[in-house]
Each structure stands twice: as C-alpha cells, then as structure tokens.
Amino acid sequence: MAKVIDGKAFAEGLRGRIAKAVDSLKSQHGFTPGLAVVLVGEDPASKVYVANKAKQTVEVGMNSWEHKLPAETSEKDVLALVEKLNNDPAVHGILVQLPLPKHIDSMKVLTAISPAKDVDGFHVVNVGKLSTGQDSLVPCTPVGSVMLAKDVLGSLDGLEAVVIGRSNIVGKPVAQLLLAENCTVTIAHSKTKDLPGVVRRADLVIAAVGRPEMVKGDWLKPGATVIDVGINRIERDGKGKLVGDCDYASCEKVAGAITPVPGGVGPMTIACLLYNTVKAACAARGIEQPAM
Ligand SMILES: Nc1nc(=O)c2c([nH]1)NC[C@@H]1CN(c3ccc(C(=O)N[C@@H](CCC(=O)O)C(=O)O)cc3)C=[N+]21
C-alpha cells in the first residue's frame, strides 16, 4: 500500500514557520504583511475557500481584507477596486478569486493586478519570469505540489514526470517547476493519445484535470509518486463527497506514495499563498525575507 502524503500536516508546519516570520517582521521591522481577497458573486465553494484563506491569514498574524462584490458587478468596478488595492501600501498581496462571472474578462483583471502584489502568480509578468528562471511570485498550488513531491522523494533530478492537465493555474506552471527540478516533463491533456500508456512512464504523476477519479491504479508504474491536485464534489450513496482526479482506491494499491483528497494538496495551496504574501511584503519594503 502507498505511503499517504500528509499535506495537512506539512501545511501546518509551513504555517507555523510563516507565523514566526511574520512575528519577526513585526518586532524587527514594525510592519504587518497584509492580503486582500476579492470575491465576485455567490459561488458557495468559492465562499468557503475565501473564508478559509481569511481565517488562516489572521492565524499567522497577518492583516486580511475580504472584498465581497455582488455577481452583477461590472468589470470596470472590479478593475477600479484592483487599482485601489494596487495603490494601498498596507496591502502586499492581492488575490482575485476565480472563476469570475462570465461578463468579466479574467485575463484583463489578472493583468491589472500589480505584478509585485500578484500572490497567485497569474500575471503574465510572473508567468514569464517563472518560465525564464527569474525570481518571481509562483502559483500556490504548483509550489505546494512540488514541495510535497520533494518531501517524499528528496531530489527530483532525472525523474520522468507526467502532468495531466494544461491549465494556466496548475498544469503549465507545475511543469515549469518540475523542469527547474531537472525532471523530464510531459504535459498530457484531453487530446493525448493513449493517456494510460503515457502516465505509465511516470515516476511522478501530477493529476490536474478536474475530472473525478479519472486516473486508475492500472495506469501507474508500480511505486510511482502521485500528487492529486483535483478537488471534485460528487454525490455517492446519496451523500456529497470530495474526491480527487485519481481513483484513490485503485491507485493506493500501485503507487509508492499518494496525496489524499481532502488533506493533500488543498491545504498546501493556502499555506503557499501566505508564504507569497510574506515574500511580496518583504520585497515591497526592501528587506530580506526571513527563513520560512
Ligand atoms: N485566484 C484564485 N486562487 C486560488 O488559489 C484559487 C482560486 N482563485 N479559486 C478556487 C481555487 C481552489 N482553491 C483551493 C484552496 C484550498 C483548498 C483546501 O484547503 N482544500 C482542503 C479542504 C477542502 C474542503 O473540505 O472543501 C483539502 O483539500 O483538504 C482547496 C481549494 C484555491 N483556488
């Protein structure tokens, strides 16, 4: 049976180190990092995530602002709020929760965020810096996924990594990070021929397709490490349930190590968001980032 990768515990440890760093910024530099989250509309899952983010931001000692706007808010008004937050020196990180309502152009909104405050790492400037190997704010879920993989495997040097999914939010940036870790990276997606055959080559599988329980145990090379980024709400036996993109029951029998859902990558995403906020705050103040 596969080793279960405890993302919840890893994230708790990381948040503890972030809290210490925030403490030292307060005592030695007299300022508090702050994160502003913008939520447009009433999506119930988004509301839960935003509430969790705010709670954990406060728990590590940072300032948190939640801007909740009605679903019918115009693009112009969202852009105006982003501009206001860009110009507010107390705000070091800005996160606009996705997905945005259909009438709003997300790319336009993400590009309006100051790259220095873009704690999601979605701005084209940060995307470009990541892909050219420059220091930047890196997307949270990809960083959290790679941290967990390195925690179980040590070095990723020379490993065959297969990323399933090519989104701007996870697939593409996680592929960049794995490349920087010296993996041989394949990005598979919905048009990939013989997906099970491609996945079977992998020492490390990153599943980020958003399709419940798609990856089966017999797709895996025995002993492979599986990082399941999927968070899918499904109905089973009349009950709501959270499942990943991997069929956990069959995968745990073949994998060497696997992240559970919930309790795997999800908690890492928020911890990395807090990390990015401290990083952005230190850069804004021109001070060295404490160890975390
Ligand atoms: N601009 C933007 N940035 C994001 O980072 C972003 C976003 N928009 N939109 C929505 C997705 C989703 N997301 C999650 C964060 C934490 C958990 C998490 O903590 N999950 C826990 C609990 C899950 C539960 O019980 O609901 C777990 O997996 O154990 C999940 C999902 C961030 N997102």
Q: What's the chain look like in SS3?
A: CCEECCHHHHHHHHHHHHHHHHHHHHHHHCCCCEEEEEEECCCHHHHHHHHHHHHHHHHCCCEEEEEEECCCCCHHHHHHHHHHHHCCCCCCEEEECCCCCCCCCHHHHHHHCCHHHECCCCCHHHHHHHHCCCCCCCCHHHHHHHHHHHHHHCCCCCCEEEEECCCCCCHHHHHHHHHHCCCEEEEECCCCCCHHHHHCCCCEEEECCCCCCCECHHHCCCCCEEEECCCEEEEECCEEEEECCECHHHHCCCCCEECCCCCCHHHHHHHHHHHHHHHHHHHHHCCCCCCC
**37 Cβ inside 6 Å of ligand 1:** no
Tell me which of 56, 97, 117, 247 is the catalytic residue: 97
- On whether 165 is known to bind a ligand per the annotation, the reply is yes
* pLDDT attached to residue 224: 98
| pLDDT value at residue 45 | 86
Active site residue 221: no
ipTM at complex level: 0.97
- Residue minimizing CA distance to atom 31 of ligand 1: 266
- State the span(s) of the chain assigned CATH 3.40.50.10860: 30-116
Predicted pLDDT at 149: 98
Question: Binding site annotation covers 74?
Answer: no
Contact by Cβ (8 Å): 189, 164: yes
- How far, in Å, from the CA of 55 to the mean position of ligand 1? 13
Cα(81) to centroid(ligand 1), Å = 23
> 262 in ligand 1 pocket by Cβ < 6 Å?
yes
Per the annotation, does 258 bind a ligand?
no
- Residue intervals of the chain classified under CATH 3.40.50.720 are 140-266
Binding site membership of 231 for ligand 1 (Cβ less than 6 Å): yes
User: Is the domain covering 30-116 a CATH 3.40.50.10860 domain?
Assistant: yes
- The residue contributing the CA closest to ligand 1 atom 18 is 266
Using the mean position of ligand 1's atoms as its centre, give its distance from the Cα of residue 184 in Å. Answer: 28
Low-confidence residues in the chain, pLDDT < 50: none
Phi, psi of 156 (to 5 degrees): -100, 0
Active site residue 53: yes
Distance of alpha carbon 57 from the chain centroid:
15
**Residue 97 beta carbon below 6 angstroms from any ligand 1 atom:** yes
Q: Is 167 annotated as a binding residue?
A: yes
Please work out, in degrees rounded to the nearest 5, the angle formed at the alpha carbon of residue 93 by the alpha carbons of 88 and 98.
115
- Catalytic, out of 56, 117, 118, 120: 120
Is the CATH number of domain 140-266 3.40.50.720?
Answer: yes
267 lines ligand 1 (CB under 6 A): yes
97 carries an active-site annotation: yes
Any ligand 1 atom below 6 A from CB of 260? no
Its pTM surpasses 0.95: yes
